[in-house]
Structure 1
């Protein structure tokens, strides 16, 4: 990272109220690894070595057709009632061989209008956090559990998650990320098949069918509770340390 980018990164850190990169000491209850979510169909584990931000693609496999077909299925989906109120589906955005995958709960009004996840105020905050981590939006992959906006931005309903989750599972299977970050309670509960409160999932090294998974607050939550930005930073520092360990192992 050059001097100019480092200065910009520090500006973002200052805006986030963060004074240093290292997380505070992890709580004593942190477990080395907890495996949850066995009800979900298995996602192939990834063993292809690659750089921290973008893994090397398997040149023997061209999955562009799989992506095209999946996008078309999502665009035409009428499996739940959300198709009646959506402006358009919100598939996902980013690098299709990303090492990092960030998963939120559902599109909001801006996302429904533009067809891209995390483009409103919460998305701007996520971009700032990514930049402060040394990541770029185009180098990670960002998606939601739901591909359509719930009316009035209400919480996702169980039947909506059930109908939409297979699309996300297929995205994860195509990307094969090295590490997943679940943004918010609904994303964490959907992926891990648990009702454990988010506060207790934070700080844990979880596993989604062999892929390390970390849980933190949704950026929209931080807009309402800016004092918790420090907690999110600590969570992402732990995730970055885990990614570094993966690269070095």
Structure 2
């Protein structure tokens, strides 16, 4: 009896400790922050490896020198769309352990953590407002996700990356302007199916990890899109600034 009374008193004391009591409440949030940031960092590393593989293979095929110390390498559309090309690179173990942009990985980890934060509260609120997993409820959730969370996530991603690259708010806005619509059209083709499975079958506490897993794939696409657009813009600028050969005649 005495031991039982002591155990009850100890359990009562544990539940009265504010930090311990709150940790039980916020543990899912902390897990979502860690998973969201961690998987986003994995996606960025994968994207950098794909860019490194593309640049290395292009160098070997054309027998020209390229500076591989920069992570902003050119990735052509043919290389990105050629799945066999990428598989061949990975099969030949064309990996880089010294050319990883640690700053870029940390930056994407911060974005993933921030997205995990607001997605945690968003999905919790959404399940309280739209209860059930019927076809109509799932359709409403998918539409809300594409109207609210999808555009917001893309704007945060591109504006933050643009700001970090240009160190100006104007640069972040211009970066988002140039890349938002191509990415959003791809978003409409990719995420509705993923979110339909999410809302129909995945429990609320697992939704942010589930989304973060697909964010690895999605983030790799965004990074490759960013590299391709940057290369196209550089070519246009070089064409505009190139001297006219007829001017010397």
Higher fraction of strand = 1
Structure ID, larger Rg: 2
- TM above 0.5, yes or no, is no
Shorter-normalised TM range: under 0.3
- TM-score (normalizing by structure 2): 0.24
Higher fraction of helix = 2
